[in-house]
Amino acid sequence: MISFSQFSRRELSAGIGPGVYDIHTPRIPSTEEIADRINKMLAVLDTNILWVNPDCGLKTRKYTEVKPALQDMVSAAKAVRTQLSSAK
């Protein structure tokens, strides 16, 4: 994952989807791991510009790897949204 220290909330106005897990490995990231990455991104990016997505195309992965990883990614995004809405 890239370092987000180079970004500033003032520098970005368009959406950015830096990728929340590495699709080049068969390892399936946990919901908690992905949520942690999303929260690290949100430390430097505004919520209205962050797009939660895998790091690139999925065609090199098998369906048995992709489906649970994407399910964990969606669960993590929902958990972070819930966390953010309850913090308001």
Instruction: List, by residue number, the catalytic residues.
Output: 24
CA 53, 2, 72 angle in degrees (round to 5)?
A: 30
Q: Which residue intervals of the chain are DSSP H helices?
A: 31-42, 63-87
- Phi first, then psi, for residue 3 (nearest 5°) are -85, 135
